[in-house]
């Protein structure tokens, strides 16, 4: 189980990774295997603003319509979930990625280019993606509360080896 706690006004974030040890009708017990704070550098400070909205059904499909492309291109925040290829040796992880609006690039071929910034030197996400490229990406439209969840396969490029980024 990977959990990310983020306090927007202070830009504080903490990650916890562990395994569910027990569960019942009231909740579950987690054995914590990793717990650590992360640098707040790329977190955009926000105040909590409840959004009044009517729940709408989830839409599924392949490709992104213009509304979602717009959300991705103006996002300053995304969340990435990854997993180790061997669940007995490693677990799952969820992390925040951020930057100024436009830090993500959308290629004409449909690829999303996400820069990797120096972080805590634990390499949880990067290490997982080296072992298993499958990942989940979550974008939040902070204006209206909409969520965009993408399933993706990561491809890692090392400095000097990547094709030109759009």
In a domain, 144, yes or no: yes
Give how many domains the chain has, as a whole number: 1
Enumerate residues 6+ apart whose C-beta is below 8 A from 23: 29
The range of the structural domain enclosing residue 70 comes to 65-153
Residue environment code for 107-145, b if the CB has 16+ CB neighbours within 10 A, otherwise e: eeeeebebeeeebeeeebbeebbeebeebebebebeeee
In a domain, 26, yes or no: no
Give the pLDDT of the chain (166 residues) as one tens digit per residue. Answer: 898 998 889 998 898 989 999 999 999 999 998 888 888 888 888 887 776 767 777 878 777 788 888 899 899 999 999 998 887 777 888 998 999 988 888 887 778 888 777 666 667 888 889 889 999 999 999 888 889 999 999 988 877 776 665 5
């Amino acid at each position: 189980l990977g959990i990310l706690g983020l306090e927007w006004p202070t830009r504080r974030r903490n990650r916890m990774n562990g395994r569910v040890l027990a569960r019942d009708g009231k909740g579950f017990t987690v054995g914590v295997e990793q717990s650590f704070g992360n640098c707040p550098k790329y977190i955009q400070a926000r105040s909590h603003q409840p959004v009044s909205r009517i729940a709408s059904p989830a839409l599924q499909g392949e490709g992104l319509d213009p509304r979602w492309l717009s959300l991705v291109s103006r996002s300053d925040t995304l969340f990435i979930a990854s997993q180790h290829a061997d669940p007995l040796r490693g677990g799952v992880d969820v992390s925040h990625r951020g930057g100024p609006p436009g830090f993500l690039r959308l290629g004409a071929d449909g690829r999303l280019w996400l820069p990797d910034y120096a972080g805590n030197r634990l390499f949880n996400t990067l290490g997982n993606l080296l072992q298993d490229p499958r990942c989940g990406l979550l974008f939040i439209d902070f204006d209206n509360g909409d969520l965009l969840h993408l399933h993706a396969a990561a491809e890692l490029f090392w400095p000097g080896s990547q094709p030109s980024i759009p």
